[in-house]
Amino acid sequence: HLGEVGEVAADHEYLFAMDALVLYFIIMYGLMTWTYGIGAPTGLFVPSLAVGGAMGQIVGRTVSAVVKAMDSTIQVDLHTYAVVGAAA
């Protein structure tokens, strides 16, 4: 459900904390590279989508924090960052 972790409340609380999202990214990336390296037909497509979606959320939250720090009225859509990250 990484594509659905938008803002929950008006005070910008997220469904997943940033440290949990980074930990998820690191673990999934490690497992993805490990299963690719063992030579068994385990598949790489779906894990790469999960890793890309997590990285997209991390980048989107970073961009959102920078935009808010500049007191801008620009809306940052975290769902778009997750989809683009999964597609990359």
Q: What is the pLDDT of residues 1-47, one digit of tens each?
A: 444 544 544 555 677 788 889 999 999 999 888 888 777 777 788 88
Q: Which residue has the higher pLDDT, 60 or 2?
A: 60
pTM of the model: 0.77
Q: Measure the N-to-C terminal CA separation of the chain; round to a whole number of Å.
A: 18
Query: 59 with 47: CB under 8 angstroms?
Result: no
